[in-house]
Amino acid sequence: MSGPQDLLKTPLHALHLELGARMVPFAGYDMPVQYPAGIVREHKHTRASAGLFDVSHMGQAWLVGPGFEAVAAALEKLVPGDMLGLEKGRQRYTQLTNETGGIIDDLMVTRPADHDDRLFLVVNAARKDVDYDWISRHLPEGVRLEPWEERALIALQGPRAEAVMARHCPGAEKMGFMDASAGDVAGIPARFSRSGYTGEDGYEISVAARDAERLAKTLLAEPEVEPIGLGARDTLRLEAGLCLYGHDIDETTSPVEAALVWSIGKRRREEGGFMGSGRILRELAEGVSRKRTGIAPQGRAPAREGVKVLNEAGEEVGVITSGGFGPTAGGPVAMGYVKPPFNRKDTPLKLLVRGREMPARAASAVFVPHNYKR
């Protein structure tokens, strides 16, 4: 048995306790699942104002080489995203794929504006070790992966995030969605991007571990900002139709099955040449036998991960991979894999919840429209 004493702590751990958080183990870290306000209030606050999230458990790393093109080309062997086309000061979402086209992890890649020999990666906490090992083993000579330790990552999310950020980092309001920059935030050296994982506008701010608490306290002192735990982070991303690794995507699901084709570059689809491109290009041409889709339960009962999805005839056609209650949607929301053509929007489905069939419909996975700064 491993006890809480074995769990890792982020640089904001003491602050979470001070704020009265309920802590839970997550990906090997002792993390705040909620603060005294509770998940529903925290969720609604983020959609209405601004929420501060500690995502320091995520992995931050540099991919360094002789120049941008060499580094981007090396990464393109491992991901289906267009890395060579990434402009300075821009960020992109992509996936590390394995030889059979399954997803090892999903990640954010940034081409910094102030360096021409590297890319900045942010990966999932639970996959850090697997990713770093995989990437390191598949790099050409001259390109190396450097995990960036002693860092914190703070997400500021919600419609008021821009105003709060601009107060401490003039000019940040001019950034567009997926722009990335480096500079001082509240006088603290930082790297930040206009992105996040809630469906809302916002920023993700990377700072040295020793500066993290000072930055978090400065932002939390703003009237618009409240601390938000992992519980609301999950309901926010679920309503926004965003995948959670290990649930909605894993080493068996391909980016095509996961409905992440939008993140595959046009040139990459034509040229291939990345891990698992055989399966992925074939699926793009021929279609898939299961596809991630939104599923809207018609009643009030949440349908959670593992619930079987049936068609009207009662045949099993899929499974829910993430589901629960959407505080902004005001009812149950879910996503899962469904066999075409039953994934088509508005197709009547049935969900097997606790042995009983409940009516549902195939839907867009985006239950609450995105509010990005385009």
Footprint on this chain of another protein (rule: CB under 8 A): 33-34, 38-40, 231, 235, 300-302, 304, 324-325, 327, 332, 354
Distance CA 199, CA 60 (A): 22
Helix runs in the chain, H state only = 13-18, 39-48, 68-76, 128-137, 161-168, 209-220, 230-239, 266-271, 277-286
Q: Is 226 helix (H, G, I), strand (E, B) or coil?
A: strand
3-state secondary structure 252-307: CCCCCCCCCHHHCCHHHHHHCCCCCHHHHHHHHHHCCCCEEEEEEECCCCCCCCCC
Residue 181 CB, nearest approach to another protein (Å): 35
Q: Which two tokens stand for residue 162?
A: 């821009």
Q: How far is the CB of 40 from another protein (least distance, A)?
A: 4
Q: Select 231 or 318, whichever has its Cβ closest to another protein.
A: 231
CB of 21 to another protein, least distance (A): 13
Question: What's the rounded Cα separation, in Å, for the pair 138 and 254?
Answer: 20
Distance between CA 235 and CA 61 in Å, rounded?
A: 27
300/374 with CB nearer another protein: 300
3-state secondary structure of 179: strand
Q: Which is nearer to another protein, 36 or 66 (CB)?
A: 36
Q: 236, 161, 148: which is closest to 198 by C-alpha? A: 236
| Closer CB to another protein, 68 or 367, in the complex | 367
How do the residues of the chain divide into helix, strand and coil, expressed in percent and rounded to 5?
A: 25, 35, 40
Ramachandran angles phi, psi of 266, nearest 5°? -60, -45
Shortest Cβ distance from residue 323 to another protein (Å)?
11
Expressed in angstroms, the distance from the first to the final Cα of the chain is 48
Tell me the closest approach of the beta carbon of residue 365 to another protein, in angstroms. 19
Comparing CA positions, the residue from 297, 322, 301, 300 lying closest to residue 310 is 297
Nearer to another protein, 101 or 327 (CB): 327
Please, what is the minimum distance in Å from the beta carbon of residue 56 to another protein? 22
- For the CB of residue 332, give the shortest distance to another protein in the complex, in Å: 8
CB 26 within 8 A of CB 57: yes
**How far from 369 is each of 128, 173, 186, 365, CA to CA, in Å?**
30, 21, 31, 10
Which of 28/302 has CB closer to another protein? 302
Shortest distance in whole angstroms from residue 306 CB to another protein: 11
What does DSSP assign to residue 174?
Answer: G
The helix (H) or strand (E) run that includes residue 332 is strand 331-338
- Minimum distance between the CB of residue 302 and another protein, rounded to whole angstroms? 5
